[in-house]
């Protein structure tokens, strides 16, 4: 059993602890603000790295969302929070067809990739031209150390490096926010990029 499968049983409880809850509430507010900039929510929509579903609340109830995670126990918990379709998969090779999605989110998950700067290119592969990406990356800083001690090595990304890679992958940044732990981006894939 993988560590995320084990964490699925305590995930929501740990995220309700006072300090952690404060950080997550700020992140949720930022993500809702970014999603609010999307006038007509594009579909089909997918959330990569859904985990136990703690950020499903940022999506409008009317959106039909496909949730993806490597951990099936995490997906089971997410489906208890909201009726969604679920698929097991890997962020490094998303299980969606080329140019098949109108919206993709990857919240709180890119930091677990050994090469987080590869993700925008994989996202561009599965998003149709004009589609929207909501993505977060961890901010470098002292707060990374305690998170590393919880069982996973985090791979932080400098803001300038991330924004350069987003542009190289064919994305225009529509909005960005910062929280204590994250850089949060809303970006659109170029209409000309296939």
Residues whose CB is less than 8 angstroms from the CB of residue 130 and which lie 6 or more positions away in sequence, other chains included:
42, 188, 189, 190, 191
Give 7's pLDDT tier (boundaries 50, 70, 90).
very low
> Does the pLDDT at position 3 exceed 90?
no
Token pair in block for residue 13: 């409880």
pLDDT at residue number 166: 97
pLDDT by residue (tens digit) across 135-181?
Answer: 999 887 666 655 555 556 777 888 999 999 999 999 999 999 998 88
More confident residue, 44 or 194: 44
- pLDDT reported for residue 98: 96
* Least confident piece of the model among 21-30, 57-66, 109-118, 148-157: 148-157
CATH of domain 3-189: 3.40.50.150
Q: Which helix (H) or strand (E) holds 44?
A: none
The pLDDT assigned to 21 comes to: 66
- Return the ∠ at Cα 128 (arms to 37 and 104), rounded to 5°: 50
In whole angstroms, give the CA distance from residue 116 to residue 92. Answer: 9
Q: Say what the pLDDT of residue 20 is.
A: 64
- Give 100-132 pLDDT, tens digit per residue: 999 999 998 988 888 989 999 999 999 999 999
* Short-list 57, 54, 75, CA closest to 66: 75
pTM to 2 decimal places: 0.85
């Amino acid at each position: 059993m993988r560590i995320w499968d084990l964490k699925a049983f305590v995930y929501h409880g740990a995220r309700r602890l006072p300090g952690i809850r404060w950080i997550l509430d700020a992140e949720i507010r930022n993500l809702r603000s970014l999603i609010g900039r999307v006038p007509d929510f594009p579909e089909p929509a997918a959330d990569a790295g859904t985990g136990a579903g703690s950020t499903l609340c940022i999506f409008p109830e009317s959106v039909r969302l496909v949730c993806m995670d490597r951990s099936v126990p995490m997906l089971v918990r997410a489906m208890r929070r909201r009726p969604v379709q679920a698929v097991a998969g890997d962020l490094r090779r998303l299980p969606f067809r080329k140019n098949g999605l109108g919206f993709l989110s990857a919240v709180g998950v890119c930091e677990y990739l050994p090469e987080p700067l590869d993700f925008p290119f994989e996202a561009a592969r599965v998003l149709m031209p004009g589609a929207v990406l909501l993505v977060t990356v961890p901010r470098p800083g002292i707060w990374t150390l305690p998170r590393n001690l919880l069982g996973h090595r985090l791979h932080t990304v400098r803001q300038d490096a991330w924004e350069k890679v987003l542009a190289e992958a064919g994305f225009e940044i529509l909005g960005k926010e910062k929280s204590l732990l994250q850089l949060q981006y809303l970006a659109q894939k170029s209409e000309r990029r296939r």
